[in-house]
């Protein structure tokens, strides 16, 4: 039987609405057109109102029969075995009369337009815009979750939109974005929705980007790679104990996912949130970086992100900039060529430097681009290759 998700850390409707009003979570579709049955934007229709709960449960992939009428979810390493009426740890996959269902399809709690740098993707069409979508639910339980108010709750506990894949693409086309980003929450838990949106996005000539913890089984991941152009994977630590005690998962499946993405030709970037006293040991960071160089390649961009006190780690201090500087230096000395410092606006580590001539080729301040001196994937100064997606 799958363990019931714990109530500690969940929020009331009043708390959630207060957070939204204070800007804690962007849930707006303000100014977005309504949608016709064919998914076409209707400019004269008022914006859609968010509603509590899930809108259209659908049969889900990656379920297998188990003993005594139960079913087992084979989407992620949690491997939840569900009795009738039970939900998996991610809160959005359910056994309904012996059939596996997803409660996340066409039910986004967040849809917003952002710079692609916010994802963060620093080597994917710099300066372009992405339409981000996310639903409730997550298959991990990070104690430092930045979006706990939507990811670590069930769909009944948040306001969401009834938005079909066709509607998402219609809105993206109207907004003129270059890509669809499955981000903020964990896209693995809305796997079927991501696939359906992603197929339509490819047909429309848009890129598919995912920011994910990479906590997924090999077979569904292989299918997902067919639609993804780029992924930023949260490699939360290189310590298995950290994953078990702070994240609620295992390290090895994430490492396997990183190698699978790379082998499938998906552009890979990595984010590591550096948390004081928990994962800021430089020897461990060095081992992580050496693994990246050996298994993925020296040209995989790595983002060291600053930790800010929140959720269950609110008593810890924010990451000192000096620690981020040491992490970046450690990564560069380990052989990585593109190492960034995130969430420290104005830091030199926000910029991209050519690994061949050391010239600054992308000038950034926060999520904003000042100059791009990369042409068709090559440094304008020396012609050296800069990996990524540039058109």
- Give the model's pLDDT for residue 379: 98
Residues 6+ apart with CB under 8 A from 247: 140, 141, 142, 143, 213, 236, 237
According to CATH, what is the number of the domain 221-350? 3.20.20.70
User: What is the predicted pLDDT for the residue at 203?
Assistant: 98
How far, in Å, CA of 29 to CA of 169, rounded?
A: 14
CB neighbourhood size of 315 (10 A): 6
Tell me the longest C-alpha to C-alpha distance in the chain: 66
Residues linked to residue 52 through DSSP beta bridges, in sequence order: 159
Q: Please give the C-alpha separations between residue 265 and each of 182, 184, 231, 376, in angstroms, as whole numbers.
A: 18, 23, 11, 18
For residue 240, the model assigns a pLDDT of: 98
What are the tens digits of pLDDT across the range 168-180? 999 999 999 999 9
Q: Is the dihedral of CA 155, 156, 158, 161 positive or negative?
A: positive
Report the Cα–Cα distance between both ends of the chain, in Å, rounded.
48
Q: Do 128 and 114 form a contact (C-beta atoms < 8 A)?
A: no
pLDDT of the residue at 55: 74
Spell out the domain ranges in the chain.
1-212, 221-350
pLDDT at 39: 31
Check the CA dihedral 250-188-82-6 and report its sign.
Answer: positive
Q: Dump the DSSP string for 270-308.
A: EEEEE-TTTT--HHHHHHHHHHHHHHT-TTS-EEEEEP-
Mean pLDDT by runs of 10 across the 391 residues of the chain is 38 36 36 31 47 85 94 98 97 96 96 95 97 97 96 93 95 97 97 98 98 98 98 98 98 98 98 98 98 98 97 97 98 98 96 98 94 96 97 85
pLDDT at 316: 98
pLDDT confidence of residue 297: 98
What's residue 47's pLDDT?
56
In contact, 138 and 89? CB cutoff 8 Å: no
Cross-sheet strand order for the sheet of 230-234: 110-115, 129-134, 179-182, 207-212, 230-234, 267-274, 302-306, 339-342
Distance in angstroms (rounded) separating the CA atoms of residues 226 and 236: 25
């Amino acid at each position: 039987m799958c363990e019931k998700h714990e109530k500690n850390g969940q929020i009331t409707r009043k708390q959630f609405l207060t957070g939204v009003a204070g800007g804690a979570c962007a849930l707006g579709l303000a100014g977005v057109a309504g949608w016709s049955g064919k998914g076409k934007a209707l400019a004269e229709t008022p914006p859609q109102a968010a509603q509590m709960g899930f809108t259209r449960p659908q049969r889900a992939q990656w379920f297998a029969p188990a003993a005594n009428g139960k079913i087992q979810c084979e989407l992620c390493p949690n491997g939840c075995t569900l009795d009738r009426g039970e939900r998996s740890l991610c809160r959005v996959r359910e056994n309904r009369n012996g059939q596996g269902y997803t409660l996340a399809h066409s039910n986004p709690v967040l849809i917003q337009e952002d710079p692609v740098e916010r994802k963060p993707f620093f080597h994917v069409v710099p300066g372009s815009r992405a339409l981000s979508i996310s639903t409730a639910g997550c298959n991990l339980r990070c104690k430092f979750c930045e979006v706990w108010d939507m990811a670590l709750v069930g769909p009944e506990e948040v306001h969401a939109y009834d938005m079909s894949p066709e509607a998402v693409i219609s809105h993206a086309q109207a907004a003129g974005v270059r890509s669809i980003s499955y981000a903020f929450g964990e896209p693995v838990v809305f796997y079927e929705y991501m696939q359906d949106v992603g197929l339509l996005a490819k047909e429309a000539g848009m890129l598919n980007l995912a920011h994910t913890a990479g906590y997924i089984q090999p077979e569904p991941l292989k299918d997902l790679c067919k639609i993804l152009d780029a992924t930023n994977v949260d490699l939360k630590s290189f310590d298995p104990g950290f994953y078990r005690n702070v994240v609620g998962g295992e390290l090895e499946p994430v490492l396997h996912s990183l190698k699978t993405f790379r082998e499938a030709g998906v552009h890979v970037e990595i984010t590591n949130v550096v948390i004081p006293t928990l994962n800021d040991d430089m020897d461990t960071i060095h081992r992580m970086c050496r693994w990246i160089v050996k298994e993925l390649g020296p040209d995989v961009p790595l983002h060291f992100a600053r930790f800010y006190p929140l959720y269950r780690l609110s008593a810890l201090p924010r990451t000192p900039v000096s620690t981020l500087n040491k992490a970046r230096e450690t990564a560069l000395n380990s052989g990585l060529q593109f190492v960034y410092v995130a969430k420290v606006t104005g830091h030199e580590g926000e910029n991209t430097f050519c690994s061949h001539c050391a010239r600054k080729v992308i000038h950034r301040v926060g999520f904003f681009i000042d100059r791009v001196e990369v042409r068709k994937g090559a440094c304008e100064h020396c012609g050296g290759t800069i990996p990524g997606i540039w058109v």
